[in-house]
Amino acid sequence: MKNLLFPLCTIVLLLMACQTKQQQESAIQEHKSEISEGVYHFDFQDFELWTLQDKESTMSAELFPDVDGEILRKVMPSGEAMSAINAFLIHKNGKYLLFDAGLGAESGGKLLSNLSSINLTPADIDMICLTHCHRDHIGGLMDHDTAAFPNADLYLSTSELEAFLYDESVKNILKSYDSRIHTFTMGDTLAGFIETFDAAGHTPGHTVYKVGELYIIGDLIHAWELQIHYPEYCAIYDRDPEKAVATRKHFLQILENPDYKAAGMHLPISGVMQSFGIIND
């Protein structure tokens, strides 16, 4: 009997993981409206949102070295979690506002082709808000050696800009936007309706944006299947893990409110979630 106990427990854990994953996929898909491959549309009270999936990807369990093995086997039985690289486009007050810009076409990013699929060009984008300056969020600002978005003003937090001044590749990308770069202090409101929140931890100036009932949460979550339930665990990408955990828990508690939705740059499928999943302290 004792010899049967371990395999039975293993089977139960695998069944729980499959059920959890199915519930998560169902919860995300419930809110999506896919209009083409990797492009999803949402109608909010006074604005439209598109998810522009730059690239579909996965997050390996190896990126979470501090996670207990039993937890990983439960929530990531295949050894990886569904993920993506997303940018988000909002149309409000006659303006097109882009949040992050993905990898860039030269690195396999599909942002520009996804824009074309909804009959827009880079010249139609009026404003770009950066959550932070990692390559998979700013690479798409460039089209080869020139700025990909010729008419867009670029916004990022002062603390994020200062934190990446050492990085020549970031400086070169931002330099292409030159006089169109604007910095802000956390708590400022942009364009009269975009609220900004300090979400430091992943990077020093990591920013969460809020438009109406939508929070754009950047890289608060890397492996959704793990961190939606266990926010105390960080990917190796978080520069200040202690601060990143506190930030993640703070915003996930806010997002338990069913009145809010969240758009995440690494959330899978549509990239948008609404209060589901249990936050374990």
Per-residue model confidence (pLDDT) at position 36 = 76
Per-residue model confidence (pLDDT) at position 275 = 66
pLDDT top residue among 36 and 232: 232
* pLDDT tens column, 108-160: 999 999 999 999 999 999 999 999 999 999 999 999 889 999 999 999 999 99
2-274 placed in CATH 3.60.15.10:
yes
* pLDDT category of residue 35 using cuts at 50, 70 and 90: low
CB 272, CB 31: distance < 8 Å:
yes
Q: Which of 59, 148, 171, 143 is nearest to 98 (CA)?
A: 148
Indicate whether 167 pLDDT > 60: yes
What lies within 8 Å, CB to CB, of 111 at 6+ separation is 52, 54, 87, 101, 102, 104, 105, 140
User: CA angle 270-66-56, nearest 5°?
Assistant: 20
Rg, C-alpha atoms of the chain: 19
Residue with tokens 């999936």: 53
User: For the chain, what is the mean pLDDT?
Assistant: 87
CB 138, CB 85: distance < 8 Å:
no
Per-residue model confidence (pLDDT) at position 252 = 95
**Which whole number is the average pLDDT over 68-76?**
92
Per-residue model confidence (pLDDT) at position 150 = 97
Indicate whether 182 pLDDT > 70: yes
CB 29, CB 270: distance < 8 Å:
yes
